[in-house]
Amino acid sequence: MFAIPGKQAVTITPKAEAQIAKLMTKDGHLGLRIGVKKGGCAGMEYTMDYVNEIDANDELVEQNGARVMIAPMAQMFLFGTEIDYETSLLESGFKFNNPNVSDACGCGESIKFKDIEELQADAAKT
Protein backbone atom coordinates (compact mmCIF):
# COMPACT_ATOMS: atom_id res chain seq x y z
CA MET A 1 0.00 0.00 0.00
CA PHE A 2 1.04 3.57 -0.63
CA ALA A 3 0.94 5.49 2.65
CA ILE A 4 2.85 7.91 4.82
CA PRO A 5 2.71 7.02 8.53
CA GLY A 6 0.51 9.40 10.49
CA LYS A 7 -1.11 10.94 7.42
CA GLN A 8 -4.47 9.96 5.97
CA ALA A 9 -4.49 9.06 2.29
CA VAL A 10 -7.41 11.40 1.59
CA THR A 11 -9.34 14.03 3.53
CA ILE A 12 -13.09 14.41 3.50
CA THR A 13 -14.84 17.77 3.87
CA PRO A 14 -17.78 18.07 6.29
CA LYS A 15 -20.25 18.21 3.36
CA ALA A 16 -18.80 15.02 1.88
CA GLU A 17 -18.75 13.34 5.31
CA ALA A 18 -22.46 14.07 5.73
CA GLN A 19 -23.34 12.76 2.26
CA ILE A 20 -21.24 9.59 2.63
CA ALA A 21 -22.72 8.88 6.08
CA LYS A 22 -26.22 9.45 4.66
CA LEU A 23 -25.58 6.99 1.81
CA MET A 24 -24.14 4.42 4.21
CA THR A 25 -27.14 4.66 6.54
CA LYS A 26 -29.75 4.70 3.78
CA ASP A 27 -28.84 1.32 2.31
CA GLY A 28 -26.82 -0.25 5.14
CA HIS A 29 -23.48 -0.19 3.33
CA LEU A 30 -20.13 -0.21 5.15
CA GLY A 31 -18.87 2.71 3.05
CA LEU A 32 -17.74 3.79 -0.39
CA ARG A 33 -14.78 2.41 -2.34
CA ILE A 34 -12.97 4.94 -4.47
CA GLY A 35 -10.82 3.98 -7.40
CA VAL A 36 -9.70 5.02 -10.85
CA LYS A 37 -10.13 3.39 -14.24
CA LYS A 38 -9.11 4.06 -17.80
CA GLY A 39 -11.66 6.08 -19.70
CA GLY A 40 -12.85 9.51 -20.73
CA CYS A 41 -11.19 11.97 -23.04
CA ALA A 42 -8.33 12.77 -20.61
CA GLY A 43 -7.50 9.09 -20.00
CA MET A 44 -8.73 8.23 -16.48
CA GLU A 45 -11.96 8.46 -14.49
CA TYR A 46 -12.79 8.22 -10.81
CA THR A 47 -15.00 5.36 -9.65
CA MET A 48 -17.18 5.14 -6.55
CA ASP A 49 -18.94 1.96 -5.48
CA TYR A 50 -20.89 0.92 -2.39
CA VAL A 51 -18.98 -1.47 -0.12
CA ASN A 52 -20.52 -4.26 1.90
CA GLU A 53 -17.20 -5.90 2.76
CA ILE A 54 -13.86 -4.26 3.54
CA ASP A 55 -10.94 -5.66 1.54
CA ALA A 56 -7.76 -6.08 3.61
CA ASN A 57 -5.77 -4.35 0.83
CA ASP A 58 -7.94 -1.21 0.80
CA GLU A 59 -6.71 1.95 2.47
CA LEU A 60 -9.41 2.78 5.03
CA VAL A 61 -10.27 6.39 5.88
CA GLU A 62 -12.90 7.14 8.52
CA GLN A 63 -14.06 10.60 9.51
CA ASN A 64 -17.12 11.50 11.62
CA GLY A 65 -19.19 8.50 10.56
CA ALA A 66 -18.06 8.52 6.92
CA ARG A 67 -16.03 5.54 5.72
CA VAL A 68 -14.09 5.50 2.46
CA MET A 69 -11.97 2.67 1.14
CA ILE A 70 -9.36 3.33 -1.52
CA ALA A 71 -8.77 0.50 -3.95
CA PRO A 72 -5.13 -0.72 -3.99
CA MET A 73 -4.48 0.27 -7.63
CA ALA A 74 -5.72 3.82 -6.95
CA GLN A 75 -3.86 4.61 -3.74
CA MET A 76 -0.84 6.31 -5.31
CA PHE A 77 -3.04 8.42 -7.57
CA LEU A 78 -5.41 9.54 -4.82
CA PHE A 79 -2.94 10.25 -2.03
CA GLY A 80 -3.43 13.84 -0.81
CA THR A 81 -6.88 14.22 -2.40
CA GLU A 82 -9.65 16.17 -0.71
CA ILE A 83 -13.11 14.72 -1.29
CA ASP A 84 -15.85 17.34 -1.28
CA TYR A 85 -19.58 17.33 -2.03
CA GLU A 86 -20.99 20.27 -3.97
CA THR A 87 -24.56 21.24 -4.76
CA SER A 88 -25.50 23.78 -7.44
CA LEU A 89 -28.65 24.68 -9.32
CA LEU A 90 -27.95 22.13 -12.05
CA GLU A 91 -26.12 19.30 -10.31
CA SER A 92 -24.79 17.86 -7.12
CA GLY A 93 -22.03 15.36 -6.58
CA PHE A 94 -18.67 14.46 -5.17
CA LYS A 95 -15.69 16.54 -6.27
CA PHE A 96 -12.08 15.42 -6.01
CA ASN A 97 -9.48 18.10 -5.35
CA ASN A 98 -6.49 16.00 -6.32
CA PRO A 99 -2.92 17.38 -6.34
CA ASN A 100 -1.83 14.44 -8.54
CA VAL A 101 -3.87 15.53 -11.56
CA SER A 102 -1.93 17.18 -14.37
CA ASP A 103 -4.87 17.78 -16.73
CA ALA A 104 -8.64 17.38 -16.92
CA CYS A 105 -11.16 17.42 -19.73
CA GLY A 106 -13.55 20.34 -20.16
CA CYS A 107 -16.53 18.52 -18.66
CA GLY A 108 -14.51 17.58 -15.56
CA GLU A 109 -15.42 13.90 -15.79
CA SER A 110 -11.99 12.57 -16.72
CA ILE A 111 -8.47 13.37 -15.62
CA LYS A 112 -4.86 12.76 -16.49
CA PHE A 113 -2.39 12.03 -13.69
CA LYS A 114 1.21 13.11 -13.34
CA ASP A 115 3.63 10.39 -14.41
CA ILE A 116 4.84 7.85 -11.83
CA GLU A 117 8.27 9.41 -11.33
CA GLU A 118 6.73 12.82 -10.64
CA LEU A 119 4.23 11.31 -8.17
CA GLN A 120 7.00 9.49 -6.34
CA ALA A 121 9.10 12.66 -6.16
CA ASP A 122 6.12 14.63 -4.79
CA ALA A 123 5.50 11.92 -2.17
CA ALA A 124 9.12 11.97 -1.08
CA LYS A 125 8.87 15.74 -0.40
CA THR A 126 6.02 15.30 2.11
pLDDT in tens, 16-55: 999 999 999 888 899 999 988 887 665 778 889 999 988 9
CATH for the stretch 10-125: 2.60.300.12
Could you tell me the sign of the dihedral formed by the alpha carbons of 66, 72, 73, 77, in that order?
Answer: positive
The mean pLDDT of 59-66, rounded to a whole number, is 91
The pLDDT of residue 122: 67
| Among 62, 36, 40, 67, CA closest to 52 | 67
Contacts of 30 (CB under 8 A, 6+ apart): 24, 51, 52, 53, 54, 67
pTM, two decimal places: 0.77
- Give the span between the Cα atoms of 94 and 89, in whole angstroms: 15
